[in-house]
A = this chain, B = another copy of it.
Amino acid sequence: MSKGLPKRLDDFSGWYNELVKKADLAENSSVRGCMVIKPYGFSLWEKMQSKLDTMFKETGHQNAYFPLFIPKSYLSKEADHVEGFAKECAVVTHYRLKSDENGKGVIVDPDAKLEEELIVRPTSETVIWNTYKNWIQSYRDLPVLVNQWANVVRWEMRTRLFLRTSEFLWQEGHTAHENQNEAEEETLKILNIYSQFLEKTMAIPVLKGLKSENEKFAGAVDTYCVEALMQDGKALQAGTSHFLGQNFAKAFDVQFATSEGKKEFVWGTSWGVSTRLVGALIMTHSDDKGLVIPPNLAPIQVVLIPIFNSDEEYKSVTEKIKFVADRLKSNNISVKIDDRKNHKPGWKFSEYELKGIPVRIVIGPKDLENNTVEVARRDNLSKEIIDIKKIDSLIPKLLNEIQNNLFNKAKKFRDKNTHHVKDYNEFKKIIQDKGGFIYAHWDGSTETENIIKKETKATIRCIPIDNESSTGKCIVTGKESKGLVVFGKAY
């Protein structure tokens, strides 16, 4: 099955594209830039959704649903926002088709032109703040803590499955608060949910930080982000949490009566992660044999495969397989039995390696004699024979160990590929040769950031939150710098 999968070191990008297709995660649709997420790929997204949704609800958020379409004029109401989002969008201009008089299928009915064009949402701040205007009158109506799971569209010229597609799935949280402090706390609370989810569930270590002016969300005061490092040394922005200040409240005139009876503009946040996380998952853990999925995220944690040479053996082996599967299920482990007769065990081994199932258990006639099973780990490809009585204690522990191992491996890789540079030449050399995260001093100006981007393609990934404050000189201009920032080439 893994035939034709390029090696990561030879062609990382080709490896990624082929893996997404061969592992049945997604494919390009016939609609330019839009992908089809296949069942196995979607099951990964569902696991992410389910875990994140629980975390959002535990922190008091509720789901709702807002319209797909945004009147064109709304986009213009927040000055920065329109700059950022008006350019790449799908525009609905008509609401009817009609039969072509020349018999050539259907054509757009020119009589059904909309008075005002509708934009397919690239993000929903505008339509949501226009709604909040009616929901919020008094401090008693605050906070509003709402999230939606939705599809959005940003017209992209160059697309890659999961990483950059014209339509993608995401969640977008939009909250409204009485004061700046509460809104800022919310922004950081969500940032921590994202980093916890990425590290504990997806086993992806992340940097938490603030975006520079250049890279922040169009309409935000501050954009916080979680940044991860992929195996090719490129950075991937895995999630963002924006402190919106009163920008959208002012643009949509959302005011509330304070407990003292004064009128004030509401403070806002918005935050999101998308199906791009599936791309992050693949590029962090997977190897030349295929996907590697951390147990906490795996839709199937253990696959069970029988080995047999006769119908009689098949019967007794699959009976034992079912016994083991039941034991695992009673330990809340998700299992799949592949007892198909029309595929050889070797074919199945490759198949589930490609699909990244964390643990494979094989039982053959010899195991029946010895009361053993063979347990194989996907993360390090090691195998061992264990006593069947140890299933209950060993497999949960093993899954936990694999989860930790994947995180530690990714963390080690990131640390190895994190550099501190003193001057611009070193910076350029590392960016070109190795990539990775580079900590460097920067003078804080957009001009300097643009020079670096133009000359090296590297951008400021974030101004890390956990930074120890250290002053120094900007590597490009030599001007004063207030602290280290992290550069990298990004997806």
Contact = CB atoms under 8 A, between A and B. Distances in A.
Contacts of A150: 151
Given A72-B106, A73-B105, A105-B76, A31 B67 contact: yes
A88 interface: yes
B87 A30 contact: no
A312 B81 CA distance: 52
Given A97-B91, A108-B117, A29 B66 contact: yes
B119 A97 contact: yes
Given A36-B131, A63-B39, A89 B93 contact: no
A82 B105 contact: yes
A345 interface: no
A42 B67 contact: no
Contacts of A45: 65
A130 interface: yes
A140 B418 CA distance: 48
B118 A90 contact: yes
A64 B37 contact: yes
Contacts of A90: 69, 92, 94-95, 118
A120 interface: yes
A64 B36 contact: yes
Given A105-B76, A118-B90, A31 B71 contact: yes
Contact of A71 (B27, B30, B39, B66): B30
Interface in A1-31: 27, 29-31
A94 B96 contact: no
A146 interface: yes
Contact of A155 (B27, B41, B82, B96): B96
A167 B73 contact: no
A300 interface: no
> Across chains A and B, which 5 residue pairs bring their CB atoms closest together, nearest first?
A76-B105, A34-B67, A39-B62, A37-B65, A91-B94
